Amino acid sequence: MVAVSRELSACNAVNSSVDVSRNPVPGRIGIESRISGGRQSPSRDFAGSVPHAAGPFRPRSCAPPAGTETTPAASGSSTPVSSTAPPWKPPMPLAGTASTPSEPEGVRVLENELALVARRTWRGLQAADVDTAVDAGMLAAAIEAGDGVAHPSDGVRRLDASGSARAAAVDVAAAAAVIQRQGLPPDAARPVDWNGFGVVIPVLAGSPGTGASVCTALLADVLQLAHRNVLVIDPADPSRSGLAIAARSNGPWLTKPHPQVHIRFSWRARALVARLETALPIIAPGMVPPPRFWLPQGPRPEVTVVDLGHDPWRVAAHPMLGAGAWLRRGTPTPLPVLVVRPSRPSLLHAEQVLARLDHWVATGAVSPPVQLVVMGAKRWPTGVAGAAGRRMCALLESAVFVPHDPELAAAGITAAVTPLRLRQAITPLLSRWGLLPHTARGWQGTKERP
């Protein structure tokens, strides 16, 4: 009886050691790899474990568990083989070593160095501006590495914090620092005085490629043809702007918040277009001048239409910095317009943009979108409106549909007047807001060029 008890205790101890090797506890990965690799030597890492040779361990003196059958071996002995579970196999080894190559570490070192250089320009520089300055430095380093000579040791062109990379990071950070120090809001909840701009209509894209710039041009053309003083603001990166050729020629009037960041005013017929210009490769959020820099000299605008379609995801995340400042609550109350495509993905993206803005709306910092404009359709396609989320549903009933125009879709916004039928689709909205004079009812059919 004592001998049987000792034998069962030995079996339990061995089985427990095998179970631990199958399901190791944290910190025991090295022991498991030594067992699976066949290099196991006598060890005391596991209390009560018994040294054994490499390979799967099969106890000889223990009775086979229930549900197994014995198969005679070549030596005449029987070996238990499970019929319900596959035999235990060593775990698959990890591909490569635990330590990564040095290249990602070198990239991180370069990014940290560029971030340190950017922060030196101003202690209060926003995190988004620091990230953009790092991007500018990395881009300059890549350009220099592509144009330079291969590394003499191994023939590989490497990125490093060269003079051009540092200079690019410093230039972007310095421009953002100088501009933001002149216009950071002292309090996010304090209302803005928009009286100098008249009625502010920010046009926000719900998803990429919705046609926010087209909607901006339509609103501006309808208003200027109704003899309203209109200011069109384009705070997008010049290389990504949808209004880059909205004017016949670049105007000579410039406002310079920074030596490398300009605002150029040009005419689109009777509408004044203000566009952002810079010689720097990347526009940081803080490089976008605050609203007061966009106010032109001379007659004050009656309506200001702002194209915010270039980066809605970034604008909705931090509307206090950069182009999102045009969404700030003030007097008179801005009338933000949300532009979408007649598709389920566009409605889903727009719901996420509104979800981001919800937190800022709750604090009273920004004005929520009050109007939905659907570009490229006369009505909702079957099954699309049902994809709208809780926030989008509140805007569906009053949605304005702007039909598709193949010529405008192919050419984009140019200096030519926008198509008449598209302007007619947007006119009822402006009439409902009281922005069109009552004496101009017969002008909708005009084909006047702006």
CATH assignment at residue 236:
3.40.50.300
Flag the least confident range among 31-40, 125-134, 234-243, 427-436: 31-40
User: Is residue 65 within 8 Å of 80, Cβ to Cβ?
Assistant: yes
Alpha-carbon span 73 to 407, nearest angstrom? 83
What length does the chain have?
450
Structure tokens at 353: 């943009």
pLDDT over threshold 60, residue 38: no
Q: Are residues 400 and 270 in the same domain?
A: yes
**351 touches 391 (CB < 8 A):** yes
In 286-333, alpha helices (H): 312-317
Same domain, 124 and 196: no
User: Which residues have CB under 8 Å from 362's CB, separation 6+?
Assistant: none
Picking from 156, 180, 204, the residue at the C-terminal end of a domain is 180
- Write out the two tokens for 119: 């922060």
The predicted model gives 93-107 an average pLDDT of 54
How many domains, the chain? 2
Instruction: Tell me which of 51-65, 214-228, 244-258 is least confident.
Output: 51-65
Does 434 or 73 have the greater pLDDT score?
434
Q: At which of 180, 205, 223 does a domain end?
A: 180
Q: Say how far apart CA 219 and CA 339 lie, in whole Å.
A: 12
How many CA within 13 A on the CB side of residue 53? 2
Which structural domain, as residue segments, surrounds residue 227? 192-445
Cβ–Cβ under 8 Å, residues 202 and 438? no
The last residue of a domain, from among 180, 208, 243? 180
CB 114 within 8 A of CB 133: yes
Token output for 255: 């406002």
Q: Are 301 and 232 in contact (CB under 8 A)?
A: no
